[in-house]
Structure 1
Amino acid sequence: MPYQAGRNLPGEHASKLGHLEVLKSPLVQQIVENFEQPEAVETSANIKWEPFPSLGEPLDLVFAVDGSWQPVTDERPPYKSIAFIKTALMKVDQIALGRIDKDEPHPLALRDLMAEAALYHATAFPLRHVYSKGLSVYDAIRQIIFESLKDASLNGEVMETFKWLAYEKWSSTPRSSLPPFQCPHSEIDGVAHDATLSFDTEEGECATCGKKIFITDMLGFHLEMSENAASESVATAYMNIHETLLLFTGVRYFWESSRETLKRCLFLKDGPLQIRAQYSKLVNPIRNFLSHAYSEGYPISIVGQEKTGIFADHLNLLLGKNTPSNHFFIPNHVYICEQIQSRPSSGAPYGRDTNYGAKVFTVVNERCRLVLNIPISVRMSEFIYRPDSSKLINLDRILATLPGMISSRHENALIPIEMANSIASLSTYPSAQVLKLFAEATIKHR
C-alpha cells in the first residue's frame, strides 16, 4: 500500500513497472498457461423452469419503496463524517401508468404521475468526530434513530408500524413485551445484560441498570458503534429497515382500514426481502404477519427485485440455457449454496433467519428477466427447505401484473421502482457535493 498524502507532503504513487516482475515469473507463466476458458459456463442441469400459472387478475394499486444514502467525509483531519439517508414510498395507479409511453415517457407525464403520490423521509447520522447536543456519537445516533422513526413529516406512522410489527399488534394475542435484547448501556458499562420494554412502549428504563432505552434499541444498531464513532453499515442498515417499515406502513394502513382494498395492492421493494445480522429480529414478526394474513384470506402481495449482486449475475449465466419466456425457476437451498454461493450445502438452510421471501428467477420476455423475492405462506418455524410455487403468496396475480410495469428505459426495469428511485436517489455527484457544503455551513454556525 502506498503512503497517503499528508498535510505537508504528497502521497506515494504505486509503481508503474511493478507488474513486470509478476509477468516474468516462471511460476506465474506456467499457472496462467494452464488456465482455460470454457465456451460456456457450466451450471447445474437440475433447473426446472416452470410456466407462468394461469394468470390471475392484475393488481391495480402499486406501491414502490426505495432508499439511498450518501456519506460526506472531510478529507482533512479530524476527518469528520456524516451519513445522509433518504427513503421514499411511491404510489402508482395502474390506470394512470397504462397511459405512460413505456419507450419514451414524457417528463411532464411522469411529473404529473408522481405529484401528490409520494412520501419521503430524510435523516442524517454523525459517524465520526461530529457531536450532537453534547452527546457522544453512540448516544446521538441512538436518539436520532428513535426520533427519525417518529418523523413528524410522516405523522409518526413509521414508528406505529414498527410497534405494530414488534409487538405483533395485528394478532388477537399480541406480545406482552419486546423480545429481550442487549441493553445499549452494556457496552459502555462493561457488564452485559438484556433489556426489554412492555407492550406498546416506545421508551423506558432498563430493569437492570435503570438507564434510558428506546424501542429502536431492540434492533441492535449500538452493536456496530463505539463511543465516538459508528460504522457506515449503520447507515445502510437503517436505510434498509426504514424502507421495510415504510412499505409495511402501507400494508398496515389498509389492514386496519380496508382489507378488501389490500387484496388489490402490490408492494414493491428495491432489493431483496432480507434483513441481516442483529437486525433480523424483525424478520420473525414479518413472517408471522404474512402467514396470519394469508390464513385469514387476505394474502399480501409483496415483491423485492434484486437488480445487482450474485443472484442477478447467476441469472445472466442462465440466459444461454434456452430460457423460455413466461417461465420461472425457484432455486432451493442446495442450489443456492452450491451453484450461486459456491459453498457446501451442509449448513443451515439459506435465509432461514434473515429472509422473508424466496428467490424466483423470472423470465417475462427476451427483454425482461428479473430476480424476484416473493414471501411464502409459512411462519419462520416452518421455513421450507425447498420452496415451491404453491407456497408463494399471490404468485399468479403478481406475474399477471408485471408485464404492465416493464420499462424500456433501463435493462430489466420496473417503472414503479424507477420512479421511487428517482425520488429517493442521492447520487455521488452533485448530491454529495451539495450535502457536503450544507454540512460544513451548518456545523460552522454551531
Structure 2
Amino acid sequence: MAYSSKYSKRPDELASKSSHSNIINDKDVKAFINDCEYPKSKDDITLDPALIVNIEYPDKNPIEHIIAIDGSYSTVPVKKTFPSSLITFFQFGELLLNIKDLDEISNMAFISREAMSKIKDLERSKLVLPTKNVAYKKNLTLTHSIRRTIYEFFKKRDDGTNFLETVHWLIFELYNSPTDEYNLSSCPHCHERNVTVRRTDFNSDYISNSCKICNNDIFITDIFRLHEAIDNELGAGGILGYLTNLIEQMNIIHTIKSIRNLKPDLLNHFLFIKDGPLAFFGQTANMHEPVRKLCNFLFDNNNLFLAGLEKSGAFVEHADEIKDLLKPGEAFLLNNKHIYSYILPNDPDTPDPYARTSYYSAKLIFKSIDGRMYVITIPVENENIVLNPQKSDFKNLDVILWNIEKLKCDMYDNAIVPVALANKLISLSVHPSSIILEKFAKALIK
C-alpha cells in the first residue's frame, strides 16, 4: 500500500513501474497459472438435449402491468479532514409499465417524449447509510448506527408505507398458517447464538427483547444478520451489495403483499422483474427460505409471475458462448452438471445443488426469436430442482419469456425496457453523481 500526503508538502508515493517483471519472470507464478482451469469456450461445450425446451407462446397475454425493481448506491467521504469517514447514498426505483401502452409504442415509427412519459411511472426511495467512522444519533458504534438506520428506513418509506410489517408478515408466514418462532443467529448486542424470537414478542414498532442474556432491543430487521458483517474499525463496505439486493427484493415482496391484500386476482396480471438473480447473498442468504415458502404458497393459492434478469457475470458470458447452439425460441435449463462443467469451478457430480443456501430460484438461458440471449432466474419449489430441472418446474415460464421478448431494448446488449429504464432513472454514476453527493454531504457537516 502506497503512502499519501495529507498536506501536499510531500509527493504521494508512486507504485514501481518495473516490479511486475518479478512476477512475469517467476517460474512458480507461471506454473500456477498453467495449472488453473478456466471456463470452456463454445467449441468445448455440449448441451444436453434433454435440457433444451421450446417456448410455447400463448394466444393471449395475461400480463397487463410490469413492475421492475432496481437499486444503486454511491459511497463518498464526508469530512475533508477525515477522508476515511464515509457515508453511502442509496436510491431504489420501482417502475410500473402498462403493457397496452408498450404495445402501442412498439408500433410507432418515432417514439415521442410524451409517449415515453406515458409508459413510465417510477417510485423512488432513498437511504443514507453511515459506512465508516461515522455514528448516527449518538449510537456508540458503527454497527448500532447501521442497525438503527436500516430499521428507520424500513419503518417509514417515502410513500408512507411500512416495510417492518412486511418483514414480520414474511418471516412468520402470516399469509398462511402463522408460525410462532424464528431463530435469530446472533444477538446484535451480546452476540448470544441462536436466539429464539417469538412472533408475539414484537411490539407495535417491531422491537422485541427476546434475548434472555442481555434483554436489549432487537429490531425485526436484525434477522437480516447484517450486523454480523460490520467491522467497527474497517467499516461496512462489505454489506452494501447485500443490502441493495435485499431492499430490491423486499420492495417486490411488499408490493406483492399490497396487491394480494387489495385483490388477489390481480396477481394474475402483474409481472415482477428484478435486476439480478432471485437470491440473497452473504449474511442475508437466510432470507431465501422464507421467500421460497411465500412463492410456493402463491403458486398453490394465487399466482405469481416473477423473474430475475442478469446483465453481467459468468452466466451471461456463458450465454454468449452458446448462442449458436440454441435455436430462436428455445430455452436451456441449467443443471448442476452443466454449471460445474462449463461455467463455475466445482465437481460436476457433486450431490449438493448449486446455490442451495442462497437461491430460491433456478437459472435458464433463453434465446429470443430475434436472437437475443437472456439469463433468467425463476422461483422453483425446492433447491433440488437444479439437479434435474424440467420445464414444468418453472411456473408460468412461457408467459414470462414471451413478455421478456416483447420488452426488448436496444439501449444495451440483451436489455429489456423496464430494467433499462429503471437503471437509467435511479443509477448513481461516479461522475458527476458521486461528486455532487460528496459536496452535498460535506456542506451539511458542521
Q: How does 1:13-412 map to 2 (within 5 A)?
A: 13-19=14-20, 41-46=43-48, 48-55=51-58, 57-58=60-61, 59-73=63-77, 77=82, 79-101=84-106, 105-114=111-120, 117-135=121-139, 136-171=141-176, 173-187=177-191, 192=193, 194-199=195-200, 201=202, 202-208=206-212, 209-227=214-232, 230-296=235-301, 298-321=302-325, 323-345=326-348, 346=350, 348-376=352-380, 378-379=381-382, 385-412=387-414
Contact in 2 for aligned 1:196/1:206 (Cα 8 Å): yes
Give the secondary-structure state (helix, strand or coil) at the position aligned to 1:179: strand
Q: 1:269 to 1:104 in 2, by over 3 A?
A: farther
Report deviation, 1:159: 2.4
Give the secondary-structure state (helix, strand or coil) at the position aligned to 1:419: helix
Report deviation, 1:156: 2.6
The Cα offsets for residues 223-253 of structure 1, whole Å up to 9 and x where unpaired, read as 0113455321222222111110111122112
Q: 1:422 to 1:29 in 2, by over 3 A?
A: closer
TM-score (norm 1): 0.88
Aligned residue type for 1:266: L
Task: Give the match for residue 11 of structure 1.
Answer: 12
TM-score (norm 2): 0.88
Give the secondary-structure state (helix, strand or coil) at the position aligned to 2:105: coil
Aligned length: 433
Question: C-alpha distance in 2, partners of 1:385/1:26?
Answer: 40
Question: C-alpha distance in 2, partners of 1:193/1:292?
Answer: 27
The Cα offsets for residues 155-208 of structure 1, whole Å up to 9 and x where unpaired, read as 23432222221111100x111133333110124xxx546241424831021331
The Cα offsets for residues 60-116 of structure 1, whole Å up to 9 and x where unpaired, read as 2111100001111357545111111111111100011123358964344323332xx
Contact in 2 for aligned 1:267/1:301 (Cα 8 Å): yes
Report deviation, 1:342: 1.8
Contact in 1 for aligned 2:187/2:211 (Cα 8 Å): no
1:425 pairs with 2:431: no
Report deviation, 1:419: 1.7
Report deviation, 1:434: 1.1
Unaligned runs of 5+ in 2: none
Question: C-alpha distance in 1, partners of 2:371/2:295?
Answer: 32
Question: C-alpha distance in 2, partners of 1:2/1:229?
Answer: 18
Question: C-alpha distance in 2, partners of 1:162/1:156?
Answer: 12
Contact in 1 for aligned 2:229/2:283 (Cα 8 Å): no
Q: 1:94 to 1:160 in 2, by over 3 A?
A: same
Question: C-alpha distance in 2, partners of 1:256/1:178?
Answer: 24
Question: C-alpha distance in 1, partners of 2:125/2:198?
Answer: 26
Report deviation, 1:385: 2.6
Question: C-alpha distance in 2, partners of 1:109/1:305?
Answer: 25
Report deviation, 1:5: 4.4
% identical equivalent positions: 23
Q: 1:390 to 1:32 in 2, by over 3 A?
A: closer
Bigger drift between 42-51 and 134-143 goes to: 42-51
Question: C-alpha distance in 1, partners of 2:27/2:196?
Answer: 61
Report deviation, 1:123: 0.7
Question: C-alpha distance in 2, partners of 1:185/1:39?
Answer: 50
Contact in 1 for aligned 2:362/2:386 (Cα 8 Å): no
Q: 1:357 to 1:21 in 2, by over 3 A?
A: closer
Q: 1:286 to 1:28 in 2, by over 3 A?
A: closer
Aligned residue type for 2:169: W
RMSD: 2.9
Contact in 1 for aligned 2:74/2:88 (Cα 8 Å): yes
